[in-house]
Amino acid sequence: MKTVLVHEDIAKFIHFMKARTMWYGTTVPWDDSLFDRFRKSYTDLKWLFCLLFFFMCGFSLSFADNFGLFDGTFIYWPICFMMTLLTSIAKFTARKQDVLMTSLNDHFLRNTEPWMRSIKDDYIKSLWKFIHFFSSYQLLVSILYMVVPFVADLILHYGFDYLESPISMPTPLSPIIKYNNAWNVKHFAVTVVNLWAFVEVVLIVQWFIANFSLTTVFVLTELIIFKHQVKSLNFEDEDNWEQQVKNIVDKHNQMIRLCKDLKDYLGLSSALVCFFTSLVLTFTTFTMYASSDITLRLSYGCGFSLYFSSALLNSYLGQKLENESDEVFKALYGLRWYRFKPEARKSLNMMMRQARDPLIIDFHGRYKMNLSNFIS
């Protein structure tokens, strides 16, 4: 970052983003190793690969009956479109990511008192545990869905000569080889591209969940710390009233900028995910009830639980952020302003007016990331 020192929580976040090839920031560069140079180049081109998957998926649907609506293939088309939009937004708004990370890093390096660290640990450590669990669950489901059928297909065909046609699960390009009864070059080439596209779906879903939840919780902990600082003002120390108010005003202005950076960074991508998640859940539910294949119904049931739980998590964290920003307003409102001097009253009144509207992650007032929008 522009600061020399990077806080451990921010460094861990950036490492996770790089592992998913979704770090577009420039203030924390990639390493100079050959592997990292390759990952950086791949990250820069990722939106083009996703765009290619989108067109290839649309092309493959022309080979499917009813455009893949009843066999579970169609769902990958909006998913690939969502991937294209999310990676494009992430790449071309890298500056917003830099601004937010720099601001968060500065806040984390300033707020290092034990009680502040305790607040951060309560939220951040628990969230990391959930993210690792979620990633492991998604990896296990993906292996059972993609790798196990492929390995079973190879063993049953080449080991026992048991199958008459390859095993095919609904994937972005599966309609191309659905009616192909040969284990030829075309079959394995499409399978490799299918696996690549599926891995990208997994990585991008993991990236957005971690990116949204962690950045939101980072800002949430800063709001909680600021609320406690407001409540802990010492009114008995009359000689330092003015300095205390000045410090609170400065910190409040910093919080306003931090919250603005968060909305600028997450607003558009969150709105897109809200829209596409509703589509994906609808098509997933339709496939579960329309298909007679028990394996397909179980696998899409796992997919439904994955997307539903991620949407619930994001909405809950957005609601928590909204509630905590309202608590900040109440803490400011509860100050004994009548004991301040006129200049201090003026500053407090300005802070209260700014804090009156709660912080809501949205896109121009639409697609709000809170429980109310989730339920509707």
Average pLDDT per 10 consecutive residues for the chain, totaling 376 residues: 73 93 87 92 94 91 81 88 93 91 92 91 92 88 86 86 80 76 82 89 91 94 90 69 78 88 91 88 86 82 85 90 88 74 74 78 82 80
Distance CA 5, CA 184 (A): 54
Q: Which two tokens stand for residue 298?
A: 């179980």
Q: Which two tokens stand for residue 75?
A: 């769902």
**What integer pLDDT is reported at residue 1 of this predicted model?**
44
Q: What is the pTM of this model?
A: 0.90
Domain membership flag for residue 155 = no
Domain membership flag for residue 141 = no
**Domain range holding 61?**
8-124+195-375
Domain membership flag for residue 173 = no
Distance CA 42, CA 49 (A): 9
Q: How large is the angle between the packed helices 8-19 and 185-231, nearest 10 degrees?
A: 160
Domain membership flag for residue 282 = yes
Distance CA 241, CA 238 (A): 5
Q: In angstroms, how far apart are the furthest CA atoms of the chain?
A: 89
Total structural domains in the chain?
1
User: Which residues lie closer than 8 Å to 188 by C-beta, 6 or more apart?
Assistant: none
Domain membership flag for residue 177 = no
Domain membership flag for residue 176 = no
Strand partners, 363: 366
Please check whether residue 298 is in contact with residue 285, taking contact to mean a CB–CB distance below 8 angstroms. Answer: no
**What integer pLDDT is reported at residue 368 of this predicted model?**
82
Q: Which two tokens stand for residue 249?
A: 């005003």
**What integer pLDDT is reported at residue 179 of this predicted model?**
64
Q: Which two tokens stand for residue 83?
A: 């991937």
Domain membership flag for residue 131 = no
Domain membership flag for residue 1 = no
From 183, 17, 204, select the one nearest 97 (Cα to Cα).
Answer: 17
Distance CA 107, CA 168 (A): 51
CB environment 60-95: b (16+ within 10 A), e (fewer): bbebbeeebbebbbbbbbbbbbbbbbbbebbbebbe
Quick one: which H or E segment has residue 78? Answer: helix 76-92
Q: Which two tokens stand for residue 70?
A: 């009843």
